[in-house]
Amino acid sequence: MKRLINILHREDGFTLMELMVVTGLLSLLLGAAYFFLQHTILSTQQAYVQTDTQNNLRIAVNRMSREIREASSIKIKGGSSLELLINNNTITYKFDSVGAEIERNDMPVASKIKSLRLDVINNKTIGITVEGPKDLKIYTAVTPRNNPQIVRE
């Protein structure tokens, strides 16, 4: 019993030097954790932006490809504008460099677009190149099903 009372009344503690060492080590550990967390957040944000940009490019190319396949008449104007006739409806695609977007009948289809290039290959196929930021490009070649005449203006 006496021994227990002695243990309870002891006033042992940590020295100032021990507290400073522990504080320094904790600071280093928290600094490393903060750096790792910040790097992870930045990498995640960059991956999200790149994925979003790729999706924008893919949406534009897929939609244009689908409608080019069904077109009965195709006019390419200036290499970055396209006029399609599908079931007696005229559909126009154009690149708006000011808004950095591709528009379908004056309504945005995709944004964050740097350029749109339309090429005619062998008078049968249309090559579509859409470029986004950071030299991200998507290219596809589309052959219309109805063998329409392709006119370049």
Residue the block writes with tokens 């591709």: 102
Does some domain include residue 6? no
Distance spanning both ends of the chain, measured CA to CA? 105
Q: Which domain holds residue 53?
A: 42-152
Does some domain include residue 10? no
Does some domain include residue 33? no
* Whole-number pLDDT of residue 8: 65
Residues of the chain with pLDDT under 70: 1, 4, 7-8, 10-11
* Whole-number pLDDT of residue 81: 92
Does some domain include residue 101? yes
* Whole-number pLDDT of residue 76: 93
Does some domain include residue 148? yes
Does some domain include residue 1? no
What is the number of domains present in the chain? 1
Does some domain include residue 15? no
* CB within 8 Å of 50: residues ≥ 6 apart: 134, 136
